[in-house]
Amino acid sequence: MFVWSLLTILPLLVAAAPASTKEEAIWDRLGNLSPYHPAPVPSGMNVELPGDCKVEQIMYLGRHGSRYPLASELVYIQNLTYKLGNASAAVARAKLPKSMQFLKEGYRTTLGHDDLTAPGRLELFKHGVNFRLKYPQFNATSILAGGQDRVIESAQWFANGYYGRTWPNISSTVFSEIAENNVTVSWITPMDTCPKWDYNYGNNATIKWGSIYLPPITKRLNSLLPGVNLTDNDTHGALYACAYDLAAYDVSPWCDVFTTSEIQNFEYELDLLMDGAFGYNLPGDMGPLLGSLYVHTLIDRFSNSSAEPVYLEFGHDTTIDMALTALGLAKDTPPLSATGPVNPNRKFRTSTQVPFAAQMLWEKIACSSTFHGPQIRLVLNDAPFPLSTCAQSKTDKTYGTCSFDAFVAANNFSTSVTWGDSAWNSTCGNPGF
């Protein structure tokens, strides 16, 4: 039975790898639309803790796995395919480079929208297996998911990997949901109960950046496809097709169409969107305020000796970005600019912070000699993430740790805020419920 099961899943594991060299080059450069990949380990840091240290408590936040495009994004891809289909004669006459020969056969899309894809399911299943192997000393007794279909399904696939064949028998007692709406206070979607929050803070920035980087790409593509008359929106659709074909099928012919710098500009657009709507480019203290609900919850749990040893929770890329903003991590000075130029050394990078199936994992650690007193560490997408706001020693910087007391002191803003208090309402407005 075990051998049969292993043989059954091996093709799926092989299929999780991108198909071509060019796709491997851009596999991790598609911002928050990147398929899951481990983050690079910062120079000089150790992934493994010292031998005298042990993890005593864990708070895990997972993003849902790879998904189909949002309905608003799918429109760009569909409109592109309609235009190419209507201009099939012009495409047939065009002298296209090898990377665009696929257009001669006609490009069609069968992408759905919003839901988890097959690679997305596999990402979360593997995360569940790997978590069980990494922390065999723990036995999680609860899983919490934000109340959106792709989040719920992702949490369930993680649970299948973590619990195995016992999951169907225990799911009703282990699994719970928290609503994602404007009347449920939640650290997973805190912006929903912040009336003054507006997604367009980020969207407006991407419109500005798009007006700068898209026209040169459109001009280049039109020179190769005379008579098709592509617009900047069509170019945007082709970039989305690259990302979402990968998310759905692990391969996309569109990815080979773009140069490295063009993909980097698309990545920057996605960084601007997330930073503007869920990060440091929100007005005033709104970014740190929204993320404070998560950080406050983290500190409360790690301060409580009777708290659960393991928390497994599932949400969105936005949850992670707001938490990082409240923590003062991945912060750029000056802030990311919607008019460029692209900063290749920027700290706020959604490709490494929040790819599909991202994992924000917090460890509370006890050591017999390396450290004195409880320590905390952030492992973000399988790599230690420097806690620059509270790290005090060379050893801290080597392992990505800091003392829990120093961490609490560094995050006094988050612990001073409570949902609905004067600080919250002065920034967000009073929800009125």
**Which residues form the catalytic set?**
64, 317
Token duo for residue 414: 């988050």
Strand 401-403 vs strand 383-384: parallel, antiparallel, or unpaired? unpaired
Rounded to whole angstroms, the Cα distance separating 276 from 278 reads 6
Locate the DSSP E strands across 263-405. Answer: 310-315, 359-367, 375-380, 383-384, 401-403
Inter-residue contact 311 to 60 (CB < 8 Å): yes
Which residue type, as a one-letter code, is found at position 314? Answer: F
Would you give the DSSP letter of residue 187? S
Chain centroid to CA 112: 20
| Residues across the chain | 433
Backbone Cα Rg of the chain: 23
Q: Which residues contact 381 (CB under 8 A, 6 or more apart)?
A: 36, 37, 38, 39, 352, 353, 355, 358, 359
Give the pairing of strands 359-367 and 375-380.
antiparallel
